[in-house]
Structure 1
Amino acid sequence: MPLDPDSFRSVLGRFASGVTVVTTVDEAGHDHGMTVSAFCSLSLEPPLVLVCIDRTASMHDLLQPERAFAVNVLSAGQEALSRRFASGDPPNRFDGLGYERGRTGVPLLQDVLAWLEARVERRHTEGDHTIVVGRVETAAAHQERPLLYYRGGYAQLER
Structure 2
Amino acid sequence: MPPVEQASIAAQDEAARVFTQRQFRDAMGQFATGVVVISTERDGEAHAMTANAFMSGSLQPPLVMVSVACSARACERIRAAGTFGVSILACTQQLVSNHFAGKPSPDHVPAFERLDGLPVVAGASVQIAADLRHDYACGDHALFVGEVRALRQAPSPARPLLFHGGRYGRMAAPDWSADALPEGFWANHEYRW
Q: Would you say same fold, with TM above 0.5?
A: yes
Contact 2:64 2:145 in 1 (8 A): yes
Contact 1:65 1:123 in 2 (8 A): no
Runs of 5+ in structure 2 lacking a partner? 1-16, 174-193
Q: Following the alignment from structure 1 to structure 2, what is the Cα–Cα distance between the partners of residues 44 and 137?
A: 12
User: What CA deviation, in whole Å up to 9, does each residue of 1:67-109 have, x standing for no partner?
Assistant: 2211000000101100100118x9xxxx953322111x21121
Give the C-alpha shift of residue 134 in structure 1: 0.3
Runs of 5+ in structure 1 lacking a partner? none
Q: Segments of 4+ in structure 1 off by > 2 A?
A: 95-99
For residues 47-58 of structure 1, what are the structure 2 equivalents within 5 Å? 47-58=62-73
Normalising by the residue count of structure 2, what TM-score does the alignment of the two structures yield?
Answer: 0.74
Matched, 1:106 2:122: no
Instruction: Calculate percent identity across the aligned residue pairs.
Output: 32
Task: Report the aligned-residue RMSD.
Answer: 1.8
Select which of 5, 9, 28 maps to 1:12: 28
Q: Please identify the structure whose Cα radius of gyration is greater.
A: 2
Normalising by the residue count of structure 1, what TM-score does the alignment of the two structures yield?
Answer: 0.89
More helix by share: 2
How many residues are matched?
Answer: 152
State the match for 1:35 in structure 2. 50
Contact 2:91 2:170 in 1 (8 A): yes
Contact 1:53 1:130 in 2 (8 A): yes
Give the C-alpha shift of residue 31 in structure 1: 0.8
State the match for 1:146 in structure 2. 160
